[in-house]
Each structure stands twice: as structure tokens, then as C-alpha cells.
Amino acid sequence: MTSRPDVTAAPTAEAGARPPDLGARVRGALGSLVVPALAMLTALVIGALVIILSDPGFLANVGRDPVAALSAGIGSVAAAYGGLIGGSVGSPRAWSETLLQATPLILTGLAVALSFRAGLFNIGAEGQLYMGAATSVYAGFALTGLPAFVHLPVAVLAGIAGGALWGFIPGLLKARTGAHEVIVTIMLNYVAYRFVDWLLNQPFYQREGRDDQISRFVAESAELPRFVEGFRTHWGLALAIAAAVFVSWLLFRSTKGFEFRAVGLNPAAARYAGMSIGGTLILALAISGGLAGLAGASEMLGSNHTLTPGFSPGWGFDAIALALLGGSRPLGVVFAALLFGGLRAGATPMQAATGIPIDLVVVIQALVIMFIAAPALVRGIFRIRAERRIGSEVFTKGWGA
């Protein structure tokens, strides 16, 4: 006997004769923001406790004068969060930094969200990002004499291709042999790191006259220009937004996306309906890899203009959290990336102003991930009913698949 209520679907009052209108869609979107917002709030509260408990003023005085100690602690929290907010949205420059940080996060977040939709857990966005960076930089310096309107697209496409190849491999292995994509993508991350290390020691790639691992400069004709000189945000952001629109179309308005989602939700029914499971997995992982590769290309062509090992602070891994936070919806991922981008952008000013280490931001991010991955926890704390979220299911049960 099932524990499900044994009842027929209750006829609801508003027998929906029309597609969900704008109001309903906005309400739906807001509803799906409840858990992430509460997760963020909870994470900030716990982050505040961490600040208080690690505050030297608080620790020194807590025995003698708890009230003063507490107020000192709260003062630290206010200073830290004030610094964080000021550094992320407090000025035009802060906004620019937030958007700059958000750009690769949007792209890698989309990559992982897309894989979640197809029931795949792409942990290899980081490696795909490195491969995309390596190929786009190569296209950026090896091709010369091209006008920018040719060279730049070629370099961007090279980045997408590099990442797509790195996604295609685990897809092919999964489709052909059943090799679990989690394992293969993790391993391919290391292969990508070492490949970049090797590449940076090759004469055709290494900058002339340098012994350390650094590539040649990307030609100016392959650079993604800044929007406004003096602010670091560049056209990579526009590519990221365009990618979000593309992924949204792909998932919800195209036949391929229909296949991705069908395979992700019920592979047996997808097979019954005549879809090719293997082909769908391969395509989904290749596109996912391509998006991560685009993140690498955008970073190389827009910000760094040269490849170095370890240039990514883990965008490909933050992406998993972003996909969860955004409910594997492209718009959700964009907002989640802006949030994490803001945290990253504000962290350095916060440390400079208050001495509270940047690591606090990592703690907050980790807590957000934890609360999203365990929605029951948030539901329990705030006593709300949560809806199904695509992604967290893959996250929590996908290991045996």
C-alpha cells in the first residue's frame, strides 16, 4: 500500500483554459525563488554567527562583559556585510566588478543546468572551461592578419569547440559503455589541467623569452572589448546573456530540448517514444561542455588575454551550486550567478576594510549549497512546502544512475 493519499486529482477552481499568463508565470518564478532566498538568508545568518564567534574583540571580552562583546561582534557583522554589499553594488565600479565576476559563472552555471535537465551530472565544467580557454587563446594568437569581425568569432568558436570536445568524450563513453559521467568528468578535469601545463611549456604556445607557464598574448583583433573604458566588464557578459537566451530556447522551445528533458526525467519513456538515448546524452554533454568552454574563452579574450595555470578560482565547481540555486532554469542561473558574482566582487573590499578574510564568502556559498541540496532542511526551518526542483534530484540520487 502506498503512503500517497488515495484520492483522485481534485478539480481545481480555475480550470486553466489559457496557457499560464504572465502573472501566473511571475508568480511561479517568485514561488520557485522562495527556497533559494530562504537558503541565502539562513546562510547569511549562520555566516554572521561565524563572524561573531571568530571576532577577536568578541572572544577577548565574552567572559568579562558579554553585552559589550556581543555588540562588538554585531559591529563586525555589520562592517563585514556592509563591506560586502558596498563592494558588490555600492558604486558603478562595484557593479562592474560584480558583472565581471558573474560572466563566467553564468556560462558554467548554464552548462551544469543543461546537463541536469538531461539527467546528467557534469562535474567537468572546470576542465571544459580550461580546454575552451586553451583553444581560444591558441586561435587568438596563432591566427594573425585577420580583421576583428572574423578573428574574434573564430576565437570564440574555438573556445566553444574545445569545451564541447571535453564534454563529448564523457558523453560518448557513457552512451557506448555506460561509464558514469561523474567519474569520467572528474578525471577529465585533471587531464585538462595537465594538458594546459604541458601546453604552456611548448615553444609554439609559451610566451617568447619566458620560463614560467604563461602563454602568448591574444591578438588585439581577437579581444572581447570592454563596454566602457575604465570599467572591466566586457562583451563576454553579452555572450553569457545570449547563451542564457539560447539555452532557454533550446530546453523549452526546441525538439532537442524536449528530448533532453524527456531523457532526463524518464529514459525508459524516452526510448519508448523513439528517442535515441545515447545520442541525446552525447549532444547534451557536448553542448554543456561548449558552454563551459565559452566561459573559458570569454575570460581569456575579455579579461586575461593570456593563459596561465590556475586562472579559474573554481568557476566550474561553483557552477554546480548555481545550477541548483537557479533550479536549472536559465533565468534562475543568471540571477544565482549575479548573486555569487556579487559575493566574490565584494569579498576583497570587505577584507580590505574589515580584515575579515575572503574565506567568509566561501563559507556563505557552501552554506547556500548545503541548504539548496537539502531543501527539507530549509522547509523544516521555515515550515513551507517546497516544489520539485530539477537538479537537486540529480544531485542527491544521481549517483547510481
Partner 1 sequence: MKLELRGITKGFPGVVANDGVDLVVRPGEIHALLGENGAGKSTLMNVLYGLYQPDAGQILLDDRPVSFRDPGDAIAAGIGMVHQHFMLIPVFTVTENVMLGTESVRTPIGLLHQADARRRIVELSDRHGLRVDPDARVEDLPVGVRQRVEIIKTLYRRSNILVLDEPTAVLTPQEIEDLFAVMRSLAKAGTSIIFITHKLNEVQEVADRITVLRRGRVVGTTTPAESDESSLARMMVGRPVQLQVAKEQPKPAEAVLEISGLRVLDDRGHVAVRDLDLTVRAGEIVAIAGVQGNGQTELVEAVTGLRPLEAGEVRIAGEAIRPDPRRIFAAGVAHVPEDRMEEGLVPGFTCAENLILNSYYLRPFADGLTLKRDAIVATCRELVGEYDIRTPSVFNDVANLSGGNQQKVIVAREFSRPLKLLVAAQPTRGLDVGSIEYIHRRIVEKRDEGTAVLIVSTELEEVLSLGDRIAVMYQGVIVDVLDPSEATPERLGLLMGGAHPEELTPEEVAAAVPASA
Residues lying near partner 1 in the complex (CB under 8 A): 1-3, 5-12, 14-17, 19-20, 253-256, 258, 261-262, 265-266, 268-275, 388
Q: Per residue in 174-212, is it b (16+ CB within 10 Å) or e — as a string?
A: bbeeeebbbebbeebbeebeebbeebbeeeebbbeeeee
Asked if 13 contacts 39 with a C-beta cutoff of 8 angstroms, the reply is no
Nearer to partner 1, 266 or 396 (CB): 266
**Cβ distance to partner 1 smaller for residue 269 or 366:** 269
CB of 22 to partner 1, least distance (A): 14
CB of 281 to partner 1, least distance (A): 16
Neighbours of 243 (CB within 10 A): 24
Pick the closer one to partner 1 by CB: 109 or 257. Answer: 257
Instruction: Compare residues 147 and 274 and give the one whose CB is closer to partner 1.
Output: 274
- Mutual angle of helices 330-354 and 236-253, in 10-degree steps: 150
| Least separation in angstroms between CB 279 and partner 1 | 12
Asked if 290 and 167 count as a contact pair (C-beta separation under 8 A), the reply is yes
Query: Nearer Cβ to partner 1, position 67 or 268?
Result: 268
Minimum distance from residue 8 beta carbon to partner 1 (Å):
4
Classify 61 in phi/psi space as left (phi over 0), alpha (psi -120 to 50) or beta: alpha
Q: Which is nearer to partner 1, 17 or 67 (CB)?
A: 17
For partner 1, give the closer residue by CB, 21 or 220. Answer: 21
Work out whether the CA dihedral 358, 362, 363, 368 comes out positive or negative.
positive
Candidates 35, 31, 9; CA nearest to 20 is 31
Question: In angstroms, what is the minimal distance from the CB of 392 to partner 1?
Answer: 13
What is the rounded CA–CA span in Å between residue 68 and residue 127? 49
Minimum distance from residue 36 beta carbon to partner 1 (Å): 20
Tell me the angle at which helices 277-299 and 315-325 cross, rounded to the nearest 10 degrees.
Answer: 120
> Minimum CB separation from partner 1 for residue 259, in Å?
8
DSSP state string for 38-53: HHHHHHHHHHHHHHHH
